[in-house]
Amino acid sequence: MSVKRILVVGSANIDFLMTTPYVPSEGETVISEGAYTFVPGGKGANTAVAAARLGAEAVFCARVGDDAYGDRLINIYRENGIDLRYIKTDRLEQTGLSVVMLEKGGANRIIVYPGANRRINDNDIENAFYCYPDAVITQFEIGEAAVIQTARVANTEGVPLIIDAGPARRDFPLAKLEQVEILSPNENETEILTGIRPTTLDDCLRASMALMNAVDIKYVVLKLGARGCYIYDGKYCDIISPYDVQPVDTTAAGDAFTAALTHEYLRTGDIITAARFANAVGALTVTKVGAISSLPTRKEVEQFIIDSIS
């Protein structure tokens, strides 16, 4: 089977990661008992590296700042075999930075300073499509215009468009995406985009239908965390059960899920098979701390699936 080329148009961040016993409330100071680290992250970068580790040819269209973090991130992408031709070093803005507060049990809260990410422009995106991708993935962590331009070029060129709806914005003009192959929000993003929390099966269906009413989508895939994922194709729905793991850090699990879903969908043409595999990738990702540092290789995922059956 030929290697699939996935273009990711997305964010590159350095993550300032700190553990906390709980998230402070207003006016409160909490003492962290863990260490702090600066680790590579960003929804776009996590997705590109996850795709590469799973066997895709990953092409990353991004911007980093002209600073030490930018250099460090590019080196990490190089080590992971990412095609770097469409990554620009921006002279006006700093590298994107995320503050990740990691609670016991693996839940996180994130604040992002987008920096150079918001300067990805129409030309950057048009040029990147010269890599002739089999699919393009983007998220909402870059500027709205860049997401819409990615959709426009993808639709003009006939490249399947996969949207990971993180971080969701209530006012995002979904209709401007025109045609989406897969739209995959998590629970919070689903609620922000539709006003419906996907708690029950009925809620999942109503939310998926609301998304399909807003824009032409082939598959809605709701990421439901520890409850697996929900797939809707406009007619049928399916719940794909989760893998049972002990989470230590959920950061990047959604990004890894979307990369895996896209890659397996391209390889097999079957969304259910792809979602099962993506659930395994998401599950493995939450068992390690950090974003890029927690992304599994294809071999690790295959072994994990075998171990889970036996």
Least distance to ligand RIB from the beta carbon of 193, Å?
Answer: 17
- Coil, strand or helix: which one is 128? helix
Q: Is 252 in the site for ligand RIB (CB under 6 A)?
A: yes
Owner of token pair 């604040």: 111
Minimum CB distance to ligand RIB smaller for 194 or for 258: 258
Phi and psi based region of residue 204 (left: phi greater than 0; alpha: psi -120 to 50; beta: remaining)? alpha
CA distance 305 to 283: 10
Kindly identify the residues of this chain, within the stretch 69-88, that bind ligand RIB according to CB under 6 A: none
Q: Is residue 122 among the annotated active site residues?
A: no
| Residue selected from 112, 136, 137, 278 as contacting ligand RIB according to rule CB under 6 A | 112
| Residue selected from 190, 251, 285, 294 as contacting ligand RIB according to rule CB under 6 A | 251
**Adjacent-strand bridge partners of 237:** 232
CA distance 261 to 218: 14
Tell me which stretch binds ligand RIB (CB under 6 A): 11-19, 58-66, 225-233, 262-270. Answer: 11-19
Interface mask (CB under 6 A) for ligand RIB, residues 179-198, using x and -? --------------------
Sheet strands (E) in the chain: 5-9, 13-20, 36-41, 57-65, 87-90, 96-103, 108-113, 135-139, 161-164, 179-184, 216-223, 229-232, 237-240
136: number of Cβ within 10 Å:
28
Q: Is 118 in the site for ligand RIB (CB under 6 A)?
A: no
Q: Is 41 in the site for ligand RIB (CB under 6 A)?
A: yes
Minimum CB distance to ligand RIB smaller for 6 or for 142: 142
Say whether the peptide bond before residue 173 is cis (omega within 30 degrees of 0): no
Tell me which stretch binds ligand RIB (CB under 6 A): 37-45, 199-207, 222-230, 262-270. Answer: 37-45
Beta-sheet pairing, 237-240 with 229-232: antiparallel
Q: Is 110 in the site for ligand RIB (CB under 6 A)?
A: yes
Angle, helices 271-285 vs 298-309, to 10°: value is 100
Minimum CB distance to ligand RIB smaller for 15 or for 134: 15
Tell me which stretch binds ligand RIB (CB under 6 A): 39-47, 83-91, 187-195, 209-217. Answer: 39-47
Q: Cβ neighbours of residue 242 under 8 Å, at least 6 residues apart? A: 224, 225, 226, 227, 228, 229, 279, 283
Q: Is 15 in the site for ligand RIB (CB under 6 A)?
A: yes
Indicate which residues carry an active-site annotation. Answer: 255
Interface residue list for ligand RIB (CB under 6 A) = 11, 13, 15, 41-43, 46, 98, 110, 112, 141, 251-252, 254-255, 291
